[in-house]
């Protein structure tokens, strides 16, 4: 499921966005991580070290057809 948010336009005011508390907390956590150079570096390193497998490779490793 994607982000569920609603834009509310009030007369004479800037529009506001309504979203669930958990969605807001998720965005806050993401912003916190991305604002830390050390965290971003760790994420980039982890991504480099990640090995991807095709569906066929996984089936082969598991002994499936």
Which tokens in the block code for residue 29?
Answer: 């956590």
DSSP of 38-49: HHHHHHHHHHHH
4-47 per-position pLDDT tens digit: 999 999 999 999 999 999 999 999 999 999 999 999 999 999 99
DSSP of 14-62: --EEEE-HHHHHHHHHHHHHHT-HHHHHHHHHHHHHPPP--HHHHHHHT
Radius of gyration of the chain (CA): 20
Give 1's pLDDT tier (boundaries 50, 70, 90).
Answer: low
Q: Provide the pLDDT for residue 2.
A: 78
């Amino acid at each position: 499921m994607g982000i569920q948010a609603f834009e509310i336009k009030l007369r004479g005011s800037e529009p506001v966005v309504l979203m669930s508390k958990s969605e807001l907390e998720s965005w806050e956590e993401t912003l916190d991580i991305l604002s830390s150079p050390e965290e971003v570096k760790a994420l980039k390193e982890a991504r480099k070290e990640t090995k991807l497998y095709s569906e066929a490779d996984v089936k082969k490793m598991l002994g499936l057809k």
